[in-house]
Structure 1
């Protein structure tokens, strides 16, 4: 038999789930998963449990759209995943049921908005990166201090004399093994190119 499964969420521990739970019970939900976590967090355990619990033909019922998703893109992804599994999605306050013709139209529009939102984010990120590069800002992780790297390489070259292993050098200087090995490789390449 197809079930109505509720999902309620509040952002902070101090907030109350009572209103949402009441509305979900009134709608006919026999099982309700309750979460006290920010929607910005991806590890919403109760939502994951609810999605795992649902079976084909069931409906996930949520009081308000913003209780389920962080963005249009996030909402579309969840709705798509549910749709693929043959699971319906209902929002009580907005009166949206994605299994009805009007709901399906809304779902299609939601997909277009989600794509537009994703494109905007990608464009803003690209513009921000280009602006930072133009201003001479370094993109990516901060590099190691050159003096410390030189010290690590010196210790590596003298390791036979002072009995240090690469692990010891890493502990002493904080320079990662990968950096030490890549710098040694660079030096060997330079030395070889000078010979030829």
Structure 2
């Protein structure tokens, strides 16, 4: 019997991942697969995979050689960008581990071989997820700009200050890109944050 891991993620603390778990458990049961671990995390999708404890735990389990399949509800659970998703897919494929994506009913491997349809779908779906996040971010920024034009105050209330260490930890990927020599604009695009946020990080470094 194949052994599998169920991996779920939600991006907000108030969101609940138990429905994802129940759905994926049911799928595993219909496929006669033994679930040996369930990994769940509540973390923003804009965090890099290196900053995500859940995805790192998943990769570590897979590298140990005892797993043959990973269940996820959506491809976007595997990374914040197309590149990150495909990196996970490529590594697990090299390890001989198939990824099952519930909402499309596709797997990356068929009889131990790459499923070209799934590979193509993963690329498209990961890119769609990235574009959706960018569109949402643009809408938020546009709404904030409109509020400013109307004279509304945006940001923290007067008299509140976020400590330097806390702020830099929150935007660790921004700090790393700046230290690596990337421009403010390029860093903002890669990390999916505002240019003002990147400038603030740069000032604090």
Per the alignment, in what secondary structure is the counterpart of residue 46 of structure 2?
A: coil
Query: How far 1:39 moved relative to its partner?
Result: 1.9
Give per-residue Cα distances to partners, 1:169-196, cap 9 Å, x unaligned. Answer: xxxxxxxxxxxxxxxxxxxxxxxxxxxx
**Larger Rg belongs to:** 1
Q: Does the 8 A contact of 2:9 with 2:17 survive in 1? A: yes
Query: What whole-Å deviation, never above 9, does each CA across 1:44-66 have from its counterpart, x for those lacking one?
Result: 10111111112265111101112
**Is 1:50 matched with 2:61?**
no
* TM-score normalised per structure 1: 0.52
Which of the residues 32, 38, 46 maps onto 1:40? 46
> Is residue 107–residue 118 contact of structure 2 (8 Å, CA) maintained in 1?
no
Instruction: Identify if the C-alpha distance between structure 1 residues 77 and 32 changes in structure 2 by more than 3 Å, giving closer, same or farther.
Output: same
Q: Counterparts of 2:42 and 2:116 in 1: how far apart (Å)?
A: 32
Contact persistence 1:6–1:61 (CA under 8 A)? yes
1:90 aligns with 2:100: yes
Aligned mates of 2:23, 2:122 — CA distance in 1? 27
Q: Give the structure-2-normalised TM-score.
A: 0.50
- 1:19-38 matches, cutoff 5 A: 19-28=19-28, 29-38=35-44
Gaps of 5+ in 1: 118-124, 130-140, 142-196
Task: State the shift of 1:2 in Å.
Answer: 3.1
CA contact (8 A) 1:65 1:94 kept: no
Instruction: Say if 2:117 is the partner of 1:106.
Output: yes
Residue 73 of structure 1, CA deviation: 2.0
- Return 97-106 or 55-64, whichever deviates more: 97-106
CA distance in 2, matches of 1:21, 1:51: 19
Contact 2:106 2:118 in 1 (8 A): no
User: Between Structure 1 and Structure 2, how many residues are aligned?
Assistant: 123
Structure 2 residues without counterparts, runs of 5 or longer: 29-34, 129-181, 187-198, 200-205
Shift of 1:72: 2.2
Q: Does 1:16 align with 2:27?
A: no
Is the contact made by 1:24 and 1:32 (CA closer than 8 Å) also made in structure 2?
no
